[in-house]
Chains A and B, each alone.
Chain A
């Protein structure tokens, strides 16, 4: 029996593990893929307090080692189901574990456009990570879809590498920061396509064209080698959406105290319903969820 089972070994989950181990609780972290979560895709983290210019990989590795050195157990198994009783069962692809409390820190994944042949063009023109794949499109024409900070940052990043960046957005105003929008407006090779959606992907062995449809229904085609999709993320909630309350977008509902509707089940990081999803807020959630879980266990 573990005191706390943490599901997800990203910044939120591993920070929870650090806090729980420092309180001498028996901790198991379950992760289906690799430690670090989506931060490993970031080339250089510039906004984490007191750690400028650390790579996402180095950050994740240091965090992982810190949790392990403090005695957290980490197993690479996918969680299929959790229970909500006094003793909480966690069923994975390989085993069943029991814990007094659970912290859900599963994060989120890229939202897809939902076009018919989208998957078949992945790595053949479709990308969800500009900093990962941008270098492959040196001197070529690409498009970015989206209107938030990620889309704006992707367009800026790509504008220094590629020939032309089309920035396609379904509205006529961006949700992202004005500072980024202003920087983009100064770039001669960035072309804005407002009030439009990508409606078809065309190509033989790889992506060659995209069909754009305006909100009025007018269709046009752009020639591009790459399409970077930055239209937000979808929370990983499949294994427990029947147990804890989720909001209309699938995020697990909890306030800043990280309590879900089930006593003893807490939520931390990007999978929690909240406004700001940043590395530092994931770590912050991790600390709070662990502290609340420790309180819960000690009061039982």
Chain B
């Protein structure tokens, strides 16, 4: 599955109402570690259909960033049934992100 770009207009539909778990990647263009992380997330997304990865640009979507207390990026927030179940801040190796997704 490809990464879905999410903004405040489709956040509810893509994240809150999703039937499968959603990993939300809060990022920004100016954030080097975020740009490093993106290809890793692309790879994970392409290998899985049992969850969805979405990308949220915090410069465009500062309301969402505030709502979810994101104050450091890259920030990965895992949602299940619309609720946050875990979060990881900073650049992480692929294996650690996979553990976060599989370890629930």
Could you list which residues of chain A lie within 8 angstroms of chain B, going by C-beta atoms? 32-36, 39-43, 55-57, 60, 76, 122-125, 127, 132-133, 135-137, 205-206, 226
Contact = CB atoms under 8 A, between A and B. Distances in A.
Nearest to A77: B93
Interface string B63-104: 001000111110100000000000001011110000000000
8 contacts: A32-B93, A33-B92, A34-B33, A34-B40, A43-B32, A76-B94, A122-B89, A205-B69
Most chain B CB neighbours (cut-off 10 Å) among A34, A42, A133: A34
B35 A57 contact: yes
B59 to A, nearest CB: 8
Contacts of B4: none
B72 A36 contact: no
B36 A40 contact: yes
A32 B91 CA distance: 11
Contacts of B72: 122-123, 127, 132-133, 136
A133 B71 contact: yes
Nearest to B93: A33
Given A56-B32, A57-B36, A124 B69 contact: yes
B66 to A, nearest CB: 9
Interface of B: 28, 30-33, 35-37, 40, 59, 65, 69-73, 75, 89, 91-94
Nearest to B33: A40
Contact of A123 (B33, B36, B59, B75): B75
A206 B68 CA distance: 12
A123 B32 contact: no
Contacts of B69: 124, 205-206
Contacts of B93: 32-34, 76
Given A55-B32, A57-B36, A123 B71 contact: yes
Contacts of A33: 91-93
B73 A132 contact: yes
Given A41-B33, A132-B33, A34 B71 contact: no
Contacts of A226: 71
Given A34-B91, A56-B32, 15 more contacts: A34-B33, A34-B37, A36-B36, A40-B36, A41-B33, A42-B32, A43-B30, A55-B32, A57-B35, A122-B72, A123-B72, A132-B73, A135-B28, A135-B59, A136-B71
Contacts of A43: 30, 32
B32 A36 contact: yes
Contacts of A36: 32, 36
A226 B75 CA distance: 17
